[in-house]
A and B are shown apart, each in its own frame.
Chain A
């Protein structure tokens, strides 16, 4: 046998390579990226499907002190995508994990058992723990070691509390960490077996749907496409425009409010299990106003083998029409497109929206902390309280994908404002942010406790005397603001520096906006 292998080395090598490729697909000998990991936003896997536990270090704990463990988690069946529909229910089981503390000397303490839902949405979990020893490690362990779910986790923290007895520990309020639901349809037309309504031919036509805004936030849109080959090269563009209904006809504005560019061959981030293309297209809408959302093939190039059809029904089944707008601006009704338009359902306390990216933590004895970190996706735009588009509404405020932040056009006095509802009187706030990049305008940042009286936030000074450097250094803001009133509200307004000019992009905005505030939780 060995002689044969030695004689036929090259054939043996080929068999070995093909064998390893096959073995890898069956037994995962080598790491291969799974599509589910891409879906799982900023969280990460702590326990893989074949694993049973995850260990992480914590600052050493002290006997007799109270601590809070907080984390968000979800479970997911890794083999879900490869399983036929009728078997999916049985593998959609939730997971149970137990939390154990461990000291340097191997001493262990069982903390609590948590049920982790099998879902795409993260759920918060927390435990308040009275320490009986000095622990340095935290272990997450599957209760059932044969459980094959993958456990994802994000946003974990472990903080000491400012309480000394069980009575005060019982009074500590749970952490508030909102989760904005973006999969909330505000308008839709769903056709069971959709057919091709329009074939994109790369001539610059815009095909889409008119809808009436019933909500003030839009987070995305879904359409169905039938792709032939790669669906065409170049890019397609989802566009949102204002629409008016006058004299029994819809008139579509030529101005685009928000847009999103995508490639038909790069379908993985957008295509869901139902065959819908879920495109992130965020905007703040005026309730009751008509809008048009559509797909433009201006930048796409198609041929006989590679093209895309947009699906729906060829009959007029929907009350509000689907339209084709050609390059001359002429509109034509084209049946009913399959579509879903998504809003944003915020976590609310009472009537107040709590912004995504916020954590409100009670640490006991009337002290609490409010933290906010910009998310870096379209929720940053949805989080805006309001914006000012300047003279005759000529400016624009939108989410810029390549900068991962909200930007405005540095003209006409455009500005945008965030409002943070901290729910308790603010003692002080530390604000930090920075300019997006050298090709973006310098900013002016203002804060207010009432939305009326504004104070400018001073930027960190660059002490170097190098003139060139001073011009090209990015603005950095870090300022501690002590509250003089008992307000629960805090406002940040971002606008551009009129004295700055010649920036390539003509846009302004901040990145990494973050707030850390001490709040009085006794009130």
Chain B
């Protein structure tokens, strides 16, 4: 590419300040948006789409395993009420979400454990 054209392109990019839009928060939102679009395209139910968006958000910006475990327990606590009001369909869907939450919690807990172990080793080495 001739040097002057490259220069012009760089200037243009700098002018529109594309980097400003590429901040982490916007990229994260873009990925969540892509996940929602995928869910819509694959004709998932609205609550499943929301769950997919949540999972993607959590992969990028993970909640602590403790927070997720609390979420799991909160959802689990809703199930008896759903059954009490004879909404077995809701109870079934809630149980599935509890299962997803549980998997996420376990994965995040393993990652946290490994990270802590690594930090401890690093501290010891110091």
| Chain B residues, CB < 8 A from A25 | 42
Per-residue 0/1 for B22-45: is the Cβ within 8 Å of any A Cβ (1 yes, 0 no)? 000001000100110010011000
A14 and B89 contact, Cβ closer than 8 Å, known pairs A21-B42, A25-B42: no
Per the bound structure, the CA–CA distance linking A382 and B68 in Å amounts to 53
A265 at the interface (CB under 8 A from B): yes
Interface contact A14-B59, CB-CB below 8 Å: yes
Complex Cα–Cα for A64 and B47 (A): 63
| Cβ contact within 8 Å between B42 and A233 | no
How many residues of A sit at the interface, in one of the four size bands?
10 to 19
CB-CB under 8 A from B86, the residues of chain A are 234
* Known contacts A21-B38, A25-B42, A10 near B89 by CB under 8 Å: no
Bound complex: CA A21 to CA B27 (Å): 21
Instruction: Name the A residues within 8 Å of B31 (CB-CB).
Output: 11, 14
CB distance from B86 to the nearest CB of A (A): 8
A265 to B47, CA, bound (A): 14
The answer to the question of A156 belonging to the interface, with a C-beta cut-off of 8 Å to chain B, is no
The yes or no answer to B60 lying at the interface (CB within 8 A) is yes
Say whether B56 faces chain A, with CB atoms less than 8 Å apart: yes
Are A266 and B89 interface neighbours, CB within 8 A? yes
Cα(A13)–Cα(B38), bound, Å: 15
* Total number of residue pairs linking A and B with CB closer than 8 Å: 30
Known A11-B31, A22-B42, A25-B42: A17·B56 in contact at CB below 8 Å: yes
| B87 at the A interface (CB under 8 A) | yes
Interface of B is mostly: helix
- Does A18 touch B at the CB level, under 8 Å? yes
- B87:A233 contact, CB within 8 angstroms: yes
Pick from B27, B59, B89: contact of A13, CB below 8 A: B59
- A263 sits at the interface (CB 8 A): yes
B89 touches A263 (CB 8 A): yes
Which residues from chain B contact A13 at a C-beta distance below 8 Å? 59
Chain B residue contacts of A265, Cβ below 8 A: 89
Within 170-201 of A, Cβ neighbours of B (below 8 Å) are at none
Q: Which of A1-52 contact B (CB under 8 A)?
A: 10-11, 13-14, 17-18, 21-22, 25
Return the CB mask of A235-272 against B: 1 if under 8 Å, else 0. Answer: 00000000000000000000000000001011000000
C-alpha spacing A17/B42, complex, angstroms: 14
| 19 contacts across the A-B interface (CB closer than 8 A) | A10-B60, A11-B27, A11-B31, A11-B60, A14-B31, A14-B34, A14-B35, A14-B56, A14-B60, A17-B55, A17-B59, A18-B34, A18-B38, A18-B56, A21-B38, A22-B41, A22-B42, A25-B42, A265-B89
| Contact surface of A with B, Cβ cutoff 8 Å | 10-11, 13-14, 17-18, 21-22, 25, 233-234, 263, 265-266
Binding site for A on B (CB under 8 A): 27, 31, 34-35, 38, 41-42, 55-56, 59-60, 86-87, 89
Known: A14-B35, A233-B87. 13 other contacts (CB 8 A): A11-B27, A11-B31, A13-B59, A14-B56, A14-B60, A17-B55, A18-B34, A18-B56, A22-B38, A22-B41, A22-B42, A234-B86, A265-B89
